[in-house]
Amino acid sequence: MVVANQLLIGSLFFVGAAQFVLAMIIAEARYPGYSIANNAISDLGVGRTARLFNASIIVFGAAIVGGALIGTGFFGPVPTLFIVLAGAGTVGVGIFPETTGRRHLRCALVAFLFGGLSAISAFSHESVPLAYYSIGLGVISLAALVLLTRKHMHGIGFGGMERLVAYPIILWALGLGGFLLSTR
């Protein structure tokens, strides 16, 4: 892969994920009575934190889609498809906040499912140990998604379980972005 493309892909993944984490922290702090155990992440997409959260998650998803499309030759067809779907679902979460009902839920499911699959499928394009961490993060995300859909919260509430689905995907995007930025 051309070094300039690798730097661009890495920057898109890293900056997209990092800005989303920071915006989410700000939104959580500004949302009255917000609980990471009891509130859904998408609760931040309504009310006074809506503009910040929705804009940030759209930027995150668009950065992931852009990085995947630029990196088609790097990732291969299956990981590229999974990453594009994960990013598109993420964009959809911001366009269709939870007040839109099923459209939001479908987008969130696509983002979560294909986000976990992206981390697993991209492992062969990463070096060790990141490849192993990617598999682990993808498995954690998908296992938590199964538990969440079956309403098994294991004492951490809906918000806590949803974070066990989402955070591994975000951590993978940060890790992959850093890997691409540091290897030439």
How do residues 43-56 score in pLDDT, each as one tens digit? 999 999 999 999 99
Q: Which segments of the chain have a pLDDT < 70?
A: 1-3, 184
Mean pLDDT of the chain: 95
Determine the pLDDT at residue 2. 64
Q: What confidence tens digit (pLDDT) does each residue in 121-148 have?
A: 998 888 899 999 999 999 999 999 999 9
Determine the pLDDT at residue 184. 63
What string of DSSP letters covers the chain?
--HHHHHHHHHHHHHHHHHHHHHHHHHHHHSTT--TTTS-GGGGGSGGGHHHHHHHHHHHHHHHHHHHHHTHHHH-HHHHHHHHHHHHHHHHHHHS-GGGTHHHHHHHHHHHHHHHHHHHHGGGGS-TTHHHHHHHHHHHHHHHHHHHHTT--TTSHHHHHHHHHHHHHHHHHHHHHHHHHH--
Domain count of the chain?
A: 1
Give residue 88's domain range: 3-181
φ/ψ of 98, rounded to 5, equals -60, -20
CA dihedral angle for residue 79, residue 80, residue 82, residue 83, rounded to 10 degrees: 110
